[in-house]
Amino acid sequence: MMNNRYIGDLPKIGIRPAIDGRRRGVRESLEETTMGMAKAVAKFLSENLSYYNGKPVECVIADSCIGGVAEAARAAEKFKKEGVGISITVTPCWCYGSETMDMDPHLPKAVWGFNGTERPGAVYLAAVLAAYNQKGLPAYGIYGEDVQDAGDLEIPQDVQQKLLKFTKAAIVVATLKGKSYLAMGSVSMGIAGSIVKDDFFQEYLGMRNEYIDMSEFVRRLDLNIFDEEEYDRAYKWVKEKFIFGQDNNKEEFKRTDEQLAKDLETSIKMTLITKDLMVGNDKIAAKGWEEEALGRNALIAGFQGQRQWTDYFPNGDFMETILNSSFDWNGKRAPYLLATENDSLNGVTMALGHLLTNTAQVFADVRTYWSPSAVKRVTGKEPVGKAANGFIHLINSGSAALDGTGHQQIDGKPAIKPFWEVTDEEIEQCLQNTKWRPASTEYFRGGGYSTDFTTKGEMPVTIARLNYVKGLGPVLQLAEGHTVELEEDMHDTLDLRTDPTWPTTWFVPNITGEGVFTDVYSVMNNWGANHCVLTYGHVGAEFITLASMLRIPVNMHNVANDKLFRPSAWNMFGTQESEQADFRACQNFGPLYK
């Protein structure tokens, strides 16, 4: 359950204890405290953070305190051998800035300078951040608000929050590096996000791009290039666990029972084939398909589907839903990230949200803004509660993970949890509250099955979307808010106006009364594409920290300024208007891997 499914070790966190290099009294008096800080940070992070597969993060501490260039070089060499992908420097005292700093341009880096009066750790923090800025190596500065006594190894609450925010984002950056985006097919229905931008993946994420034609599915289906034992297990599980819903197609467009049975078999096989294409499968090597067994080391994939595939073959809704969920016929496991319509930009957004939170992501169309007056006109009723000022209908036929039903719980409230925290009872609830409906053949002439559920209300969530603008590059937008539930008759009336065989989430952004968050309509009106990703929790601040690490500006968010955490250099581009400063800083420093 906790194996690393991708090629390459999980990125470790390198802890660098920096110290005043003066011997014969000064350094010796600081050795124990400095190394103690490093050990305290390593312990704190390992106890509070996990990789995508549930394993606690692993920290590597430099063999000695770093008082100058030689020890900095030794630490860097150790980190290379140990597979360190993140750098955190800690110190309780003054050190020699440019002599002790981490110079690797591709390692996300942070510095915690102890706020104490006996030794000027904060002075080193200011000095080394100035050196990082001057050398064009953005670093995150961590400075506790309250003064501590010398030798105090307690990590203050505000320092803890910044360490977590930085490290979560840095793990995402280091995990993406070297992985692949697998495009299965090409551009779907002219959707811009499925025009895969190779240079974006290479320069901003450190990823490679892989491509297959959808005819590869036909070959593997015809030649049984998949694990047939797993297929039998999957088919049995599906027949036992799934609830199959009503066929809404007109009589002349309904598929026969024989066709529906074949659609289900094909959908399960497509799921197995996609998983094999992404990460490989030793079982098919044993059948003589050694090349196919290797996979593409794909952390993210996208399936074009419409229309060249779906006009003749079953759609990808089953495949996308199951792979994006945190469980299947093999039990609980990390989601496989698969974007509907090969929307690579939404696929990347899914990866950012997943790796930040270790939870399944819900891929959705940003379909409709319902104003209170429109709701009243159509239903005869006014929305109430959080929905009183209007809401947005999120709905998509494909990659809506079953976790998105909201039938998991944290403290008795609806939630989406990391797979290792999901109970067997919660899995059953997710399945029992999902119907598998014969696909609308007006959309999907080749049939298939679509996922039908309604997300439970009162979940704190964040929707996000990565867009790409010529001349500017990638831009991230996000909105924190809540899911809401409507009265049953109101829900039915509104839901039936679109395709009722698809999963529905009613979403209300948190309104601030300013800018595009003046009202719900403005949020919808300023969304940059037809898709978004829904992530559990109010994690906008974490997304913003991550975006700055990747040098991607954020053009729209409703996160309070006191929660923003970006590299120290960003303040040099202006402190009054943080959004404009973010754009200037990202443009100045450019992509991380260019």
Contact (CB, 8 A) for 323 and 338: yes
| 468 pLDDT more than 80 | yes
Mean pLDDT of 303-321: 96
The pLDDT tens digits for 402-412 are 999 999 999 99
Q: How far apart are CA 86 and CA 42, in angstroms?
A: 12
The pLDDT tens digits for 77-108 are 999 999 999 999 999 999 999 999 999 999 99
Q: How far apart are CA 501 and CA 305, in angstroms?
A: 18
Residue 341 among the catalytic residues? yes
Catalytic residue among 20, 71, 227, 365: 365
Mean pLDDT of 429-458: 96
How many CA atoms lie less than 13 Å away from 339 in the CB half-sphere?
35
> What pLDDT is attached to residue 116?
86
pLDDT band at 397 (very low <50, low <70, confident <90, very high): confident
Residue 365 among the catalytic residues? yes
Contact (CB, 8 A) for 124 and 50: no
The pLDDT tens digits for 73-83 are 999 999 999 99
pLDDT band at 120 (very low <50, low <70, confident <90, very high): confident
Domain 180-589 is found in CATH 3.20.14.10: yes
Catalytic residue among 71, 341, 426, 582: 341
341 known member of a binding site: yes
* CA-wise closest residue to 4 among 55, 59, 60: 55
| 148 pLDDT more than 90 | no
- Within the chain, which residue ranges are assigned CATH 3.20.14.10? 180-589
> What pLDDT is attached to residue 122?
86
The pLDDT tens digits for 210-265 are 999 999 999 999 999 999 999 999 999 999 999 999 999 999 999 999 999 999 99
Contact (CB, 8 A) for 362 and 333: no
- Within the chain, which residue ranges are assigned CATH 3.40.50.1070? 12-176
531 known member of a binding site: yes
| 1 pLDDT more than 70 | no
pLDDT band at 2 (very low <50, low <70, confident <90, very high): confident
The pLDDT tens digits for 41-66 are 999 999 999 999 999 999 999 999 99
* CA-wise closest residue to 8 among 360, 204, 299, 209: 299
CATH number of the structural domain 12-176: 3.40.50.1070
How many CA atoms lie less than 13 Å away from 69 in the CB half-sphere?
2
Q: How far apart are CA 246 and CA 575, in angstroms?
A: 57
pLDDT band at 312 (very low <50, low <70, confident <90, very high): very high
Q: How far apart are CA 571 and CA 566, in angstroms?
A: 9
Rounded mean pLDDT of the chain? Answer: 96
Contact (CB, 8 A) for 14 and 79: yes
pTM: 0.96
